[in-house]
Amino acid sequence: MKSFFASLILLLSIGNCLADELPNIVLIMADDMGYADAGFTGATDIQTPNLDALAASGVTFTSGYVTHPYCGPSRAGLLSGRYQQRFGFETNPAYDPSNPYLGIDPSVTLFPKRLQKAGYRTGVIGKWHLGAAAPFHPNKRGFDYFYGFLGGGHDYFKIDLRDPVKEGYTQALERNGKPAEFEGYLTTALSIDAADFVSSSKDAPFFLYLAFNAPHAPLQAPAEAIAKYSSIQDGKRRRYAAMVDVMDAGIGQVLTALEKNSLRENTLVFFLSDNGGPQPTQSEPGKWNGSSNAPFRGGKGNLYDGGVHVPFIASWPAKIKPGTVYHKPVISLDIAATAVAVAGNESQPASLMEGANLIPLLDQSSDNFAHEFLYWREGGVRWSILDRKRTKHVADKAGGKSELFHLPADASEKNNRVTEERALADQLRNHWLSWDKANVASRIGNYHQYHQHRDQFFIDSIPGQATAEGYSPTPVPTFK
């Protein structure tokens, strides 16, 4: 009997200690992954056993959104916990380590900085894409550790400094400000480094942001992974599937590291994609990367659900009931708010964040919503708004007519109700206009235009040189 009570006291003591400990937080982001390309979202031709297990261990958000339909701005919203239009980050910045203005505003506090103040060790591994110059460097923006690349993508097999720099796809990686290499396949190298970060951080609470560039172009994968999907006839889809497969294996490595170090129970793990998978269009038929956003309309770059509705998971065995499914709309902003809340750092400056702490909302008996409305703006002209009943008012083309959809009955956004329900459409539009008043113009220009202007600058500096191909001699924009 004494041994029974001693065991009971020990178990209660362990439980109380766990409850008092700050949770570790791991945020895993895929790049350009289609909504339907994991088993837990319906894929049958791509194997994602680790993502499926992660979803089963926690909550799947079936209406999970990001703040922007492509890479850089989506990440700016994610890490700031604010709509990126509030601080003028509305397009992908060009890769230019010499430009101290081309990145996320240094006055914007990213939530890892808040976690540092709460006693967390913080690390980012993989893709940054928030500015390549010194003021924007991850080590200056709340991360104790950085291993990865500063631009929007990278070759998966090589570093070659003899290649044209442009967007830096073959430039050296970095480890805390110093040049770094990788062996083999980049996705695997990032995964190994992430697992090592977990093991080396086990003695204190930590935050890890693992930002894969998979399955973003270039479509490259190990030969053995491609061979695994030989049954897929389309070549793009086959390589894409292999990229997702290797990423899933890497996620498994990180989860295994948590388990081996007895950290899994009290670690909050998030997974999502930065936007939907690119889809072919009439003007860009080769844009497709092999992804599927079914059943949604459009893809990367669109404000239809195919561009912003993403696979979205949260798992925390100590707090979240396994197998939970949450249907109400949530957004990537909520990750920052949740992380700061569970870390116990709800200081006054954090009130600027616009997300919601998701943990209290996962009680299915609650009628509370994380948000009354979700908002989007792209390029200062395209816009969208979603209400909590998942009625969506969207203008996906600049200057084009707006459309109204009831997503619960029309996930593919085919039945435009804007004429029949003009009053509701106007009401939603007015809510969007009210939200937009707090936004500012983009601080940075489109990276394609930036490269054209920079090329022309160099051409103009040499007397007698011709105009750069494709360059239109318009005034050079000010990048503030």
Phi-psi group of 129: left, alpha or beta (phi > 0 → left; psi -120 to 50 → alpha; rest → beta): left
Instruction: For tokens 């109380």, name the residue.
Output: 16
Catalytic (active site) residue 71: yes
Catalytic residue among 17, 68, 71, 309: 71
Q: Give alpha helix (H) positions in 98-213.
A: 111-117, 186-200
Containing 457, the helix (H) or strand (E) segment is helix 447-460
- Each as own residue / partner, the long-range contacts of residues 188-193 (CB below 8 Å, 24 or more positions apart, any chain) are 188/246, 188/249, 188/250, 190/125, 190/126, 190/147, 190/148, 190/250, 191/247, 191/249, 191/250, 191/251, 191/253, 191/254, 192/250, 192/253, 193/125, 193/147
Distance CA 244, CA 247 (A): 5
Containing 44, the helix (H) or strand (E) segment is none
Whether the CB-CB separation of 296 and 242 falls below 8 Å is answered with no
Catalytic (active site) residue 129: yes
The sign one gets for the Cα dihedral 158, 129, 64, 250 is positive
Catalytic residue among 17, 68, 129, 451: 129
Whether the CB-CB separation of 278 and 287 falls below 8 Å is answered with yes
The residues annotated with a catalytic role in the active site are: 71, 129
